[in-house]
Amino acid sequence: MDKEGCRLMEFISEVVVWFSEDGRWAGSDGILPRTVEHLWLAILPMIIAAALALPIGVWLGHRRTGEFAANAVVNIGRAIPSFGLIILSGVFFLRAGVSLRFWPAVVALVALAIPPIFTNAYAAIVTVPQETVEAARGMGLTEGAILRQVEIPVGSAVILAGVRISFIQVLATVPLAAVLSSGGGLGQYVVRGFAQGVGARAEVFAGALLIALLTLAADWAFSSSERLLLPEGIRRLRPEEIKAAASVS
């Protein structure tokens, strides 16, 4: 075998050894607790962000006002570097004397999660055809009923698409929280390894592999169950019709 091949084999075996070390899976710094931490650090901010952004986005969409706010939120959300946001959040929490392990990341991730959820919720409702809403109004539905029975179901695919975009973005940002503390889920392996240099190259690579797999798996799980979360009437549409509706955003 040539020299290059030897070095590759050596590297692969280092990574394999890393995966099979004592306590690698269930230990306190193991892959399982780190994965749980990673997911929880993504899911909790998502719940908070959805609770904040969905009602406001849907309501503004129903009122058909607030286009300016929707545009501003999406532009600001995109321009703020998530890395900087997490670290800034850490600085403020540190000044308040709070531990950096959990809450700074949660607050920064909530802020990151809001824009896609909000803009999609707003766009989902605003793009429901005016005639549809007027027909519902003509049939005697109250405003609340129009929202619940017409606008939200028709817009549900777009709303869910926003939640998915947001979730994947948050999940992708969780590892950066490892720069702040010994937390950050699976990101800890990579960030810690980066700081240690070449000696930790197996840990860096293995951590990155785990992060990539977790994110892709979450994306796949979300998109394959998305259909099941849709209201019954919309679910009966053909996939391409749902897709056409969801690509409006």
Partner 1 sequence: MTLAQQTMPLFDWSWVGRNLDTIWDRTIEHLRLTGFALVVGLGLSIALAALALRRPRTYEPITAATGIMYTIPSLAVFALVRPWFGIGFVTAEIALVSYTLLILIRNIVAGINGVPPGVREAALGMGYRDGERLRRIEFPLALPVIVAGLRIATVTVIGLVTVTSLLGLGGLGFFILDGIRRSVIFPTGIIVGVVLSVALAAILDLVLLAVGRILTPWTRRDAV
Shortest separation between residue 215's beta carbon and partner 1, angstroms:
6
Are the C-beta atoms of residues 222 and 164 closer than 8 Å to each other?
yes
Q: Of 48, 56, 69, 88, which lies in the binding site for partner 1, with binding defined by CB under 8 A?
A: 88
Q: Of 41, 46, 60, 85, which lies in the binding site for partner 1, with binding defined by CB under 8 A?
A: 85
CA atoms within 13 A on the CB side of 44: 14
Question: x/- binding map, residues 202-231, to partner 1, per CB under 8 A?
Answer: --xx-xxx-xx--xx--x------------
Nearer residue to partner 1 within complex by CB, 88 or 141:
88
Nearest one of 202, 172, 170, 198 to 189, comparing CA atoms: 202
Count of beta carbons in the 10 Å neighbourhood of residue 100:
18
Are the C-beta atoms of residues 173 and 109 closer than 8 Å to each other?
yes
Hey, what are 125's tokens?
């409702």
Nearer residue to partner 1 within complex by CB, 85 or 159:
85
First vs last Cα of the chain: how many Å apart?
Answer: 53
Measured distance CA(45)–CA(85) in Å, rounded: 14
Q: Cα–Cα distances in Å, from 144 out to 63, 65, 149?
A: 12, 17, 8
Q: Does 237 bind partner 1 (CB under 8 A)?
A: no
Nearer residue to partner 1 within complex by CB, 32 or 98:
98
Shortest separation between residue 199's beta carbon and partner 1, angstroms:
13
Shortest separation between residue 173's beta carbon and partner 1, angstroms:
7
Residues forming the site for partner 1 (CB under 8 A)? 11, 75, 78-85, 87-88, 90-91, 94-95, 97, 168, 171-173, 175-176, 179-180, 187, 190-191, 193-194, 201, 204-205, 207-209, 211-212, 215-216, 219
